[in-house]
């Protein structure tokens, strides 16, 4: 029977532990992504487990198989809020700083749990999905998360990348989408890890929602010329959706008159100038673009996984079969036709649903 020390020695002789760190705003679909990705990777034969590092995630862990849970082993947000009389955001920042400062105390228990997940007869290394908090404060107001991830990388010999989720429905609102890109860029800079940005829930912008998109899908995926969104800060160019009817605001004379009055105001002009400047910040860095994801679509999940494997280096790991090595290398260095195919597929579905809606109007 192999004990933990033998397993530790065994794991050190093999390839490093690969994985992904999942971040994103509340409601972006992190829990659903972790569950869907875990199930998909299991079908591929990977020894995949989820580690919950979100002290506020009381119920999300019921949706996936977690090999280690920070709430059960280290700190719980609810208890911190009660004991220190902190609010949810301040309490979460405290929790992440506590995890960082006491990492040497709890990382060994996490490592033991990971090693315990290794099947003695299975040569596959563990593949870990880290579920992190979604609140932006933990990434923009300190370095605790970045420091914590660096300690995990060093002590567990990890090869990880960040998977950052943004809700695709943000594309309907220029201010919301620009805000998401700024937060995403800030997280990329703070975490200092290879990052795959995902536009999740793309299935939700089909159907009636298709008419609320100001530009084509490639505009939002590439994050270029974002200053064009500044002309639509007042919501012009979209329809007002209702469950029973749709009002086309382009034909509403009173609305158009009010909109022009707003656009002539000095406040709106300053607001527009500010948004253009913020858009230029995102573009000047040139780091941000998105891959589309419909977690219910296996092809879409597979395309995202390929991007993740390229980012964390899993695509280059040694395989027994030489043909597999060549196949993986070809996948890693191939052009991005599949990304454009996925964009074209979504555009086609958008168009198809839009035409269908026109038939019923």
Query: DSSP string covering 109-122, please?
Result: HHHHHHHHT--TT-
CB 31 within 8 A of CB 130: no
Look at the block and give the residue holding tokens 């579920």.
Answer: 131
pLDDT of residue 348: 57
The count of C-alpha atoms lying within 13 angstroms of the C-alpha of 319, restricted to the half-sphere facing its C-beta, is 12
pLDDT of residue 208: 54
Checking if the pLDDT of 332 tops 80, the result is no
pLDDT of residue 354: 45
Of 80-94, 113-127, 241-255, 307-321, the poorest mean pLDDT is in 241-255
CB within 8 A of 97, min separation 6: which ones? 142, 144
Instruction: Give Dmax (Cα) for the chain.
Output: 79
Structure tokens at 182: 């700024």
Checking if the pLDDT of 347 tops 70, the result is no
Checking if the pLDDT of 271 tops 80, the result is yes
* Nearest alpha-carbon partner for 275 in 181, 178, 172: 178
Question: Cα–Cα distance between 90 and 74 in angstroms, integer?
Answer: 18
pLDDT of residue 239: 45
pTM: 0.80
Q: Provide the β-strand partners of residue 196.
A: 163
Average pLDDT for residues 128-136, to the nearest whole number? 92
Where is pLDDT greater, at 232 or 160?
160
Question: Cα–Cα distance between 166 and 145 in angstroms, integer?
Answer: 19
Mean pLDDT over all residues of the chain?
A: 80
Q: CA Rg, the chain, in Å?
A: 23
Question: Cα–Cα distance between 276 and 254 in angstroms, integer?
Answer: 28
| Structure confidence by residue, pLDDT tens digits, 4-18 | 455 544 444 456 899
């Amino acid at each position: 029977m192999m004990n933990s020390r033998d397993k530790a020695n065994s794991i050190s002789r093999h390839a490093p532990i690969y994985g992904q760190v999942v971040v994103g705003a509340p409601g972006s679909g992190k829990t659903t992504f972790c569950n869907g990705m875990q199930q998909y990777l299991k079908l591929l034969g990977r020894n995949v487990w989820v580690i919950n590092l979100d002290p506020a995630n009381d119920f999300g862990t019921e949706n996936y198989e977690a090999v280690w849970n920070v709430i059960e082993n280290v700190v719980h947000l609810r208890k911190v809020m009660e004991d220190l009389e902190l609010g949810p955001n301040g309490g979460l920042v405290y929790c992440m700083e506590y995890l960082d400062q006491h990492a040497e105390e709890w990382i060994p228990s996490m490592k033991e749990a990971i090693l315990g997940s290794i099947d003695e007869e299975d040569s596959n290394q563990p593949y870990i999905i880290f579920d992190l908090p979604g609140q932006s404060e933990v990434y923009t107001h300190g370095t605790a998360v970045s420091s914590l991830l660096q300690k995990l990388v060093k002590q567990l010999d990890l090869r990880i990348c960040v998977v950052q989720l943004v809700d695709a429905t943000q594309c309907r609102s220029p201010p919301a989408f620009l805000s998401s890109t700024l937060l995403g860029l800030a997280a990329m800079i703070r975490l200092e890890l290879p990052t795959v940005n995902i536009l999740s829930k793309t299935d939700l912008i089909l159907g009636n929602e298709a008419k609320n998109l100001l530009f084509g899908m490639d505009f939002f995926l590439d994050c270029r010329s974002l200053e064009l969104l500044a002309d639509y800060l007042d919501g012009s160019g979209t329809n007002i959706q209702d469950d029973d009817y749709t009002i086309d605001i382009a034909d509403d004379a009173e609305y158009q008159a009010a909109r022009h009055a707003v656009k002539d105001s000095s406040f709106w002009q300053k607001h527009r100038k500010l948004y253009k400047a913020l858009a230029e910040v995102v573009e000047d860095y040139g780091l941000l673009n998105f891959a589309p994801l419909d977690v219910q679509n296996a092809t879409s999940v597979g395309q995202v996984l390929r991007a993740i494997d390229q980012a964390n280096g899993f695509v280059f790991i040694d395989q027994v079969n030489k043909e597999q090595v060549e196949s993986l290398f070809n996948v890693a260095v191939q052009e991005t036709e599949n990304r454009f195919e996925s964009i074209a597929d979504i555009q086609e579905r958008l168009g198809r649903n839009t035409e269908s809606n026109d038939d019923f109007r």
